[in-house]
Structures are given as structure tokens and as C-alpha cells.
A and B are shown apart, each in its own frame.
Chain A
Amino acid sequence: MAPSRTMKAILSLLLAPPTAVLVVAVSAGVRAGEADIGAGSRDYLEAKIAYCEDCHGRSGQGYFGFLPMPRLAGQTTAYLESQLRAFAEGRRDRGLFLNMAKIHGMSPTMRIALAEHFRAAHPSPFGGASRQLSAAGRRIYEDGVPEANIPACAACHGPDAQGQGSNPRLAGQLHPYVMGRLSRFPSEYRRAAVDVDPTATMARIAHNLTRSQMDAVAAYVSQLK
């Protein structure tokens, strides 16, 4: 049965872009404090979160795979969002055997939604670091290593390694992951950064750290809540 003229009019009104956007925006905006993920639904976001957790662990706790997949839980939204963008733009971890750009490909609104989701997660850290090593790491974390021109990590990452703004949270981060990042910063440094690029700052700092100093700091932060 062919649609009536009234039906056709209603259909064309509903299908008109402004109306469609309005419908989606209204339904998406019903939940307060949630980024508008546009054409997606709650299910779409949930599926993406599950995808992240498949590698990064339940609640973004982190996971010891062939590579240590970093903790996302409690991370600052600015940092998470900026790193997702860095992956997409090929500014991070290009040397790995994984296609990080493709694996982390997603819309800008999805990045924000995911960042907000994992910011609010608080699973316990894995822990397990040696206490002696952590104690040494704490000294470096809080005082830096003045004779090697290494500033205190606490100055940017916060006294309890909770992070602030685009300086990431380190508390509870996986020990081997922190080690890997500190070791690779100097070689990963890229000059052409569009926005605040941590590798520029971290390359200089990490360059002066000895391997055992990196190990100690990594151990210390890995057991922080």
C-alpha cells in the first residue's frame, strides 16, 4: 500500500536532517553529565567500553599481555583524550608491532565519552612491587634527582601521583608499562606536536634517569592507590 500524502509529509519531516539531529540530541541529552556520542546509543558506548576492557582489563585496571596494557582507571580525562588523539594521528607508539592508530580509531566524541567513563573507575592496583625498590622510587618521585637535573615527578604528576590536567595519573600504573614509557620517551620525541605533547617534556627528564632509577619510580607508583 502506497503511503498517503500525509504520511509522506510526516516521513519527509522526520527524515529532514535538523529534525533527526534534534531527536538524537534530545534522547542523548536526557542523561546528565554524559558526553553526546552523537549517532550512537548507550549500547554502542557500552560495546566500545567492553572493547577497551578486553585489552586494558576489567574496569581499566590494566593487563599483563605480551605487552603490558596500561591502567586507564582514574586517569585524567584530558590525558586519556589527548593520547587517543595521539594514537589516531600517529604521534605515539609507532614502533610497536601493533597498528595503534587502527586499534584506537574512533570518533572525537567517543574519545571524550570513554575518557569520562574510565576517569570514574577505581579498581585496586595490582601491586606486587618490592618494598625496598618502592622506597627508593618514592624518594625520586618526591625530591627528583637534583644532581642530574631531574625535577620531582610530584611537581607535575601531583603529590599522590593522581595526575592533573594533561599530566597523567601514575598511581596504580603497571610497573613494566611505566618502565617501558620512561625508556622510550627519548627516542619517541617528536618535534611537530599540534597540542601539548608530553614526549617533549618527558624526553628530557627520562633521558637523565638511570635504568635503576626508572625501575624504582615505576615500582613506587605502581602500588599507589
Chain B
Amino acid sequence: MKLVRLQLLIVALVCLGVPARAGDVPAAVRNCGWCHGMLGQGIALAPRLAGQRRAYILRQLVDLGEHVRDNPQSRQYMWGPAANLDPLLARDLASYLAALPFAPAADGRPQLVEIGRAIYLEGIPDANIVSCAACHGPNAEGIGDIPRLGGLGYDYLRTRLAQWGEGYHAGAKAPMPRIAGKLSPSDIDALASYLSFVK
């Protein structure tokens, strides 16, 4: 019996993740933390929120509430929470998350990093694909409500980039829907790999 209780405790702690002292983390963040990680570091397809641009987080919460961001995972997991979120709380959450420290996911394919960097900085002019860096910055840090891409998870980035070409998020702020729709699967693989390592 003691062993079972101990195992349950361990499982509970693992689910809650770090930190062990729940009082350190605001209650609202704990709700997000179930999927996005208690440090906002991201888990699987729930993206890293730590260090993301505040204005971008706010805009995504609006886009989710208005169903502009409409891929299946967003629909299933985020439409409800975003619709229920108080606007003032949203601002506090965005500020909190933007200030969280983070480390890059660094889980891309290392052999594609150089190719991905070239595409990120220069685009592919012959295919009329623009440079990502012009808007997202030399270190993929973003600016204003243009998101940080640096350090996001490889799987998340691949999925997200492919979604534009699949017709999701068509109502999102221009020009992303059109740009990303031109990327080939190998372009996406390279970009996602490179970006996952960017600090």
C-alpha cells in the first residue's frame, strides 16, 4: 500500500512538473502548464510559451477565441480555454510568459541546420520565398507581435509550418498564410531543424 501511494505521489509530481512548490506558480499558469509545461517550455505539440513575444501571445489568444487559428489541435485544446479567458488575465499571462527564461529545444536534425539557416536568412528567391529574417529578425527573436521562432520545438515548427500550406489559419495576419504555403516539406524540415537550435 505504501509503495502504491509512493508511486502515485511520484506520478503526481511528474505530472505537475517543476517547480515542486505550487505557490511559486500563479494559478492561471498552472492551467496552461498541464500542456505547455509549468515553465512554459512546451510539451510535444503544445508550443513553448516561455520567452515568446507578449503581443504575439495576446494576438494568438484572440485568434484562438475567434477561430482564426483553426488547426485540429487548436480546435480541440485551445478554442475553449481561449474563449473563457478574461482579457485582463490574458494580458497578465502574456506578460508572465514573455518574461520566463527559456533554453532552445535543440531537437531538430543537426545535418539540416546549415540548409535551414540559409533559407531562414535569404529565403529562396528563385521560388519567390521571402527571407524569414526580414520580419522575424536575425536571431529569430521576433519583434512586436511577430513571434519568436528561435528555440521552438522541431515537431511543433514542422507541424505549424505545414499547416499554412494545408489551408489552416487562412485568416491570420498577412503575409504568413501566403508565404509559408509555398514551402516544400524539405524546406520546412530544414527550417524547423535550424530554428530549434537558435538561442
Contacts and interface: CB of A to CB of B under 8 A. Distances in A.
Interface string A185-209: 0000000000000000000000000
A98 B128 contact: no
Contacts of B121: 97-99
Contact of A98 (B134, B142, B175, B179): B134
A22 interface: no
A105 interface: yes
Contacts of A104: 125
A105 B128 CA distance: 11
30 contacts: A50-B128, A50-B178, A51-B128, A51-B129, A54-B128, A54-B130, A54-B175, A54-B179, A55-B135, A58-B174, A63-B135, A63-B175, A65-B143, A65-B146, A66-B133, A66-B136, A66-B137, A66-B138, A66-B146, A67-B134, A69-B134, A97-B133, A97-B138, A98-B122, A98-B133, A99-B122, A102-B122, A103-B123, A103-B131, A105-B125
A139 B108 CA distance: 55
Interface string A141-158: 000000000000000000
Interface string B97-126: 000000000000000000000000111010
Interface residues of B, number: 22
B26 interface: no
Contacts of B142: 66
A66 B134 contact: yes
Contact of A64 (B144, B174, B175): B144
The 3 closest A-B pairs by CB, nearest first: A65-B135, A51-B128, A66-B137
A65 B137 CA distance: 8
B68 to A, nearest CB: 18
Given A97-B133, A98-B121, 4 more contacts: A50-B128, A58-B174, A65-B146, A103-B130
Interface of A: 47-48, 50-51, 53-55, 58, 63-67, 69, 97-99, 102-106
Contacts of B137: 66
A102 B146 CA distance: 24
Contacts of A51: 125, 128-130
A61 to B, nearest CB: 11
B128 A48 contact: yes
Given A99-B122, A102-B122, A65 B134 contact: yes
Interface string B166-198: 000000001100110000000000000000000
Contacts of B138: 66, 97
Contacts of A102: 122, 125
Most chain A CB within 10 A, of B134, B143, B144, B175, is at: B134
Contacts of B125: 51, 102-106
B134 to A, nearest CB: 5
B178 A54 contact: yes
Contacts of A65: 134-136, 143, 146
Contacts of A99: 121-122, 131
A98 B131 contact: yes
Contacts of A48: 128
